[in-house]
A and B are shown apart, each in its own frame.
Chain A
Amino acid sequence: MNEAVLVRRIAARPAIVFDALVSEDGIASWWGPREDEAAISAKVDPRVNGTFRVRFRTADGREHECTGQFLEIEKPSRVVLSWRWAVGGEPDEVAADNISRVEFRLRPIDTGTEVTLIHSALTTEVSATSHEGGWGGAFEKLVRLYPDENKQLHP
């Protein structure tokens, strides 16, 4: 299992961060591949088995879309999504055909909330279950080669 793990501290209480993770307005404001531009549209049904569809425009001007479902929602500590890149008419890309899993974990800290994001590349939900405990960690070790700048924010 390939995992990208990022940790970020945010100067806002967990309930507020949680709302940003599941609300349409929130997701539209912050999901996106570019620093200067968030999603161009977002349709979100934030309940277990509810779907989301978010569109982006990348630097090359092309539009990309990601879709998926909310698999688990535990306010205000955890959200798990299935995730699939849907790139209309785009040439084959890494993981373009695959469903992956995105998990957000929220932990209260003195300055607000610590968010841990785990994006795991998986072929199917079935293999997600069977891979657990098997591949886990390999990618994480690789990621540690590129330590994340853990920004400390002040309220």
Chain B
Amino acid sequence: MYKEERLDRIFSALSDPTRRSILARLETEPRLSISDLAEPFAMTMPAVLKHLEVLSEVGLIRRSKAGRTVWVQIEAGSMKAAMDWLQRHRLFWTSSLDRLARYAEAKEREAGGKNK
């Protein structure tokens, strides 16, 4: 899969609040069983499994079976690719906008607030 297409799919997977909530839990607890994960949600097990399937398909989580329990873990690499893009551009523009504000406000003061 091309990198860009993969990123698109990751962001699409992240656009759902239930899936984000699942990932948020997996970030604080390194490994959870599917029934642990399903517990806080008022939805059927098949619905939860569907969300896990989406996350697994884009590589955001990894599932492993031990006996009768299926364990779910976050896949740090995929999350990182998505976050890197976000972070890189947010940091860049946040810092830049700070300076834009300073620059434009200095120019506004030079203009003396005339012709507002």
Contacts and interface: CB of A to CB of B under 8 A. Distances in A.
- State the majority secondary structure of interface residues on B: helix
Given A142-B11, A142-B15, A155 B108 contact: yes
Interface string A135-146: 101110111011
A32 B95 contact: yes
Contacts of A151: 101
A6 B97 contact: yes
Contacts of A98: 4
Interface stretch (B33-41, B44-52, B62-70, B82-90): B82-90
B7 interface: yes
B14 A138 contact: yes
A119 interface: yes
Sort chain A's interface into a size bin: 35 or more
A16 B111 contact: yes
B1 to A, nearest CB: 13
Contacts of A12: 101, 104-105, 107-108
A17 interface: yes
B53 interface: no
Interface in A41-65: none
Contacts of B81: 94
A35 B84 contact: no
B89 A4 contact: yes
Given A13-B116, A16-B108, A138-B14, A26 B103 contact: yes
A31 B96 contact: yes
Nearest to A108: B116
B16 to A, nearest CB: 9
26 contacts: A6-B90, A8-B97, A8-B100, A8-B101, A11-B105, A13-B111, A20-B100, A20-B104, A20-B107, A29-B103, A30-B96, A30-B99, A30-B103, A32-B92, A32-B99, A33-B92, A33-B95, A95-B7, A97-B3, A115-B97, A117-B97, A121-B85, A142-B86, A151-B101, A153-B101, A155-B113
Q: Which 3 A-B pairs have the closest CB atoms?
A: A12-B108, A138-B15, A12-B104
